[in-house]
Amino acid sequence: MTAYQPPGAPRRDGYDAVVLAGGAARRLGGADKPGVRVGGRALLDRVLAACADADTTVVVAAPRPTTRPVVWAREEPPGAGPVAALEAGLSRTTAADAVVLSADLPFLTERTVRRLLDALRASDAEGAVLTDPEGRDQPLVAAYRTAALRRELARLTTAHAGLTGLPLRRLVAGLDLTRISDPVASFDCDTWGDIAAARSRIREHGHVLDEWISAVKDELGIDLDVDTGVLLDLARDAAHGVARPAAPLTTFLVGYAAAQAKGGPEAVAEAARKAAALALRWAEEDAAEDRPGAG
How confident is the chain (295 residues) per 10-residue block, as mean pLDDT?
A: 42 84 73 88 94 96 92 92 95 96 94 96 96 92 97 95 92 95 91 91 75 77 76 86 87 86 85 87 70 52
Q: Give the pLDDT score at 28.
A: 75
Is the Cβ–Cβ distance between 272 and 229 less than 8 Å? Answer: no
Amino acid symbol at 239: A
- Give residues with Cβ within 8 angstroms of 183, minimum separation 6: 132, 133
Q: Give the pLDDT score at 6.
A: 44
Is the Cβ–Cβ distance between 34 and 21 less than 8 Å? Answer: yes
**In 10 A of CB 287, how many CB atoms?**
10
Is the Cβ–Cβ distance between 13 and 71 less than 8 Å? Answer: no
Q: Give the pLDDT score at 3.
A: 38
Q: Give the pLDDT score at 266.
A: 87
Q: Give the pLDDT score at 130.
A: 96
Is the Cβ–Cβ distance between 124 and 153 less than 8 Å? Answer: no
Instruction: Work out the end-to-end distance of the chain between its first and last CA atoms, rounded to an integer number of angstroms.
Output: 63
Q: Give the pLDDT score at 242.
A: 86
Q: How far is CA 205 from CA 50, 186, 211, 219, 282, in A?
A: 22, 21, 11, 22, 32
Q: Give the pLDDT score at 146.
A: 97
Report the C-alpha gap between 42 and 195 in whole angstroms.
11
**In 10 A of CB 252, how many CB atoms?**
10
